[in-house]
Structure 1
């Protein structure tokens, strides 16, 4: 890789007037914004320098001419050595997390792709275990240097790779999953114990969602716990019970957690035991959240509605809007007088304003006068470049009935 870094970079020249988003901090350059690449047809993931139509340097990125996002920026106004850039980005990312992560938490996102200046790379930390995702051809080319820097900087027990999914297929990459560094016992590879806001959770590296757990909801789970005292709580789409566990810790009077995955509910039960909570502290329901809410009017003082993505493409937006209206209508009807709702959309293609509009329609349908108390999103360990609205995906609202 060092030899590749020292080679002259291919040059990407943008069309006149198309440099604005790049100058504004958007790391994605779409193919239609490019005038030419010289030499033509660089390999997928090759480093390139990016220039405006007058040949002024805009920065450095990596290129994949076969994809819609043809260039992903890594640096602005410079073309640094890639290994030096990776080390710098990791150091800055770790320093940011040290400022924001609570002392009773050892699990967080260390690298959030574009938001940390390493497009296509995700690194999540679960105590002494790191999980990496390399989603693009350019990220794949940084693999060796990234793993070396993570080992040198953090000395983890293990580094696990979970690089899989549709984005890699679009980039022409096969899935890559397994242990890349550190311990090699089967038990360690499959699971680990993480601590979040003082609550311990099993992390399933083999079958779990994302890198094993939904780290982006950590601060929202803490918020739910702070609202849960003496409340009747519903954790819809509970997964491994993160919001339910927070409600137990917060002193809820009654908690119901529902999910369609028997495996997830099994882990949620284990998490209750792991934290020495009473086995009946949460009533787990294996089933469909909409059906359950429809049958339980005026029952819950606090409802957490965190469904999986309902709009995986822009073509899904209209259908997703109807589903968000329906789900939130059912939640509001299941809410006790004066109750509160934490409602979320994690659909990248369903914008925040669209979600808020859907929730407003739901309030009208349900005949409830709801107040918007707070806009919610992921924690500070999921930064987004200010010029990159496409990087925003998790939208949440805290609502309270008037």
Structure 2
């Protein structure tokens, strides 16, 4: 493939995507997963990547700069480098983390998450399907897993012929999955549904923010909004929170939160904390809490991605404003607000400004404690890869 001038510049700057508009000409008709060799307008080698004939991203760059052989040894080396980055986590009683963070670890369109000795490989493009056997073999060499589970992005189901019989939840290696998989995060036990749970079974990216909540929770009442399986709630309880309310619209998620608490009842702080489950829409339930005069010493709001495309940004900003208003309304004076966003389309600067300004207009000016971004197992290697931001503040 020969690139346009704009695509050539982007590749030289390390961008991992080549859009369909960036291809000046190509030889032959590639199939999904074919290795694409990219050349400059002057016929000089630029990069090598995986070809995907569907969607606007046609090539996901694996390597750029100088020619490289993409073979079993190359995959294994890349995985070893990713594992070395995460090595410090092993000293923190943590065996649940992201081993491969897509483009940011040199595996564009692929993530691999660890849950104990179970590793979950999630594909976001069918371009990875032909390379699954090589990846499984490399994983076995690098991490010696008990099992490897496959998850598929829903968009891949539109092209069943390119899956070659692979299905969501397949065990690619090792023992069948029987129920949930247990893992540790900073010494706390959690259960993950690696076959049918959201993402790969758990939201691993908030581990460090959960630990920050623990450090601030002593003696406090805590409301955890969009609680899912209770990660923030459990950390708050271990940190000495007297009561914790987990709010989510999913009953199975709240059941999982309750189960995660039972896994940790050996900790006296967890055992002593009152854990309340609140089922319902976050906006509606927070309005009800406010109407009933309930308030908390700490309010944690960690919503899903409201803006997955540019056209949704304005609506997302409106939702964030509503959440901040509701959050400070049920937050006691001097309490702690923890407000997070995982929408990559909303910049960190815009998000933080929105939270601060909205609280100010509610006559609840914020005193910042900390602003946080990505943890070490979610590195960011290009601008579009940044998505997570979180503000800790006193109001």
Could you say which residue in structure 1 is the equivalent of 2:317? 321
Could you say which residue in structure 1 is the equivalent of 2:253? 264
TM-score in terms of structure 1 length: 0.90
1:341 partner SS: strand
Separation in structure 1 between the aligned mates of residue 20 and residue 324 of structure 2, nearest angstrom: 38
Could you say which residue in structure 1 is the equivalent of 2:57? 69
- For the Cα contact (< 8 Å) 2:240–2:273, is it kept in 1? no
Which residues of 2 match residues 331-346 of structure 1 at below 5 A? 331-346=327-342
User: Is 2:172 the counterpart of 1:180?
Assistant: yes
Separation in structure 2 between the aligned mates of residue 279 and residue 179 of structure 1, nearest angstrom: 39
Aligned-residue offset at 1:115? 0.7
- For the Cα contact (< 8 Å) 1:119–1:139, is it kept in 2? no
* Per-residue CA distance 1:312-336 (angstroms, 9 max, x = gap): 2221111111111101111012111
Separation in structure 2 between the aligned mates of residue 367 and residue 384 of structure 1, nearest angstrom: 36
Could you say which residue in structure 1 is the equivalent of 2:370? 374
User: Is 2:280 the counterpart of 1:287?
Assistant: yes
Aligned-residue offset at 1:29? 1.2
Aligned-residue offset at 1:364? 3.1
Could you say which residue in structure 2 is the equivalent of 1:107? 96
- For the Cα contact (< 8 Å) 2:48–2:61, is it kept in 1? yes
Could you say which residue in structure 1 is the equivalent of 2:37? 49
* Per-residue CA distance 1:123-150 (angstroms, 9 max, x = gap): 1011111111122132222211000111
Separation in structure 2 between the aligned mates of residue 163 and residue 46 of structure 1, nearest angstrom: 19
- For the Cα contact (< 8 Å) 1:112–1:123, is it kept in 2? yes
Which residues of 2 match residues 197-276 of structure 1 at below 5 A? 197-276=186-265
- For the Cα contact (< 8 Å) 2:150–2:172, is it kept in 1? yes
TM-score in terms of structure 2 length: 0.92
Of 339, 348, 356 in structure 1, the residue corresponding to residue 352 of structure 2 is 356
Aligned-residue offset at 1:354? 3.0
- For the Cα contact (< 8 Å) 2:237–2:273, is it kept in 1? no
Of 375, 390, 394 in structure 1, the residue corresponding to residue 384 of structure 2 is 390
- Tell me: CA distance 1:368–1:102, structure 2 relative to 1, closer, same or farther (3 Å): farther
Could you say which residue in structure 1 is the equivalent of 2:394? 400
Q: Which moved more, 1:13-22 or 1:199-208?
A: 13-22
Separation in structure 1 between the aligned mates of residue 67 and residue 88 of structure 2, nearest angstrom: 29
Separation in structure 2 between the aligned mates of residue 255 and residue 290 of structure 1, nearest angstrom: 18
Of 30, 33, 51 in structure 1, the residue corresponding to residue 19 of structure 2 is 30
Separation in structure 2 between the aligned mates of residue 207 and residue 42 of structure 1, nearest angstrom: 33
User: Is 2:117 the counterpart of 1:116?
Assistant: no
Aligned length: 384
Could you say which residue in structure 1 is the equivalent of 2:46? 58
* Per-residue CA distance 1:206-248 (angstroms, 9 max, x = gap): 3311100011111111111011011111111111110010011
Could you say which residue in structure 2 is the equivalent of 1:149? 138
RMSD: 2.0
Aligned-residue offset at 1:293? 2.6
Q: Which moved more, 1:258-267 or 1:47-56?
A: 47-56
- Tell me: CA distance 1:60–1:259, structure 2 relative to 1, closer, same or farther (3 Å): same
Separation in structure 2 between the aligned mates of residue 63 and residue 133 of structure 1, nearest angstrom: 18
Aligned-residue offset at 1:362? 1.9
Note the residue ranges of structure 1 that are not aligned, 5 or more in a row: 1-11
- For the Cα contact (< 8 Å) 2:191–2:256, is it kept in 1? yes
Q: Which moved more, 1:166-175 or 1:363-372?
A: 166-175
Aligned-residue offset at 1:171? 10
Separation in structure 1 between the aligned mates of residue 120 and residue 6 of structure 2, nearest angstrom: 40
Separation in structure 2 between the aligned mates of residue 293 and residue 280 of structure 1, nearest angstrom: 21
Aligned-residue offset at 1:298? 7.3
Note the residue ranges of structure 2 that are not aligned, 5 or more in a row: none
Could you say which residue in structure 2 is the equivalent of 1:3? none
* Per-residue CA distance 1:2-55 (angstroms, 9 max, x = gap): xxxxxxxxxx21112432221111101111122111x13211221112122112
- For the Cα contact (< 8 Å) 1:236–1:305, is it kept in 2? yes
Aligned-residue offset at 1:173? 5.0
2:189 partner SS: strand
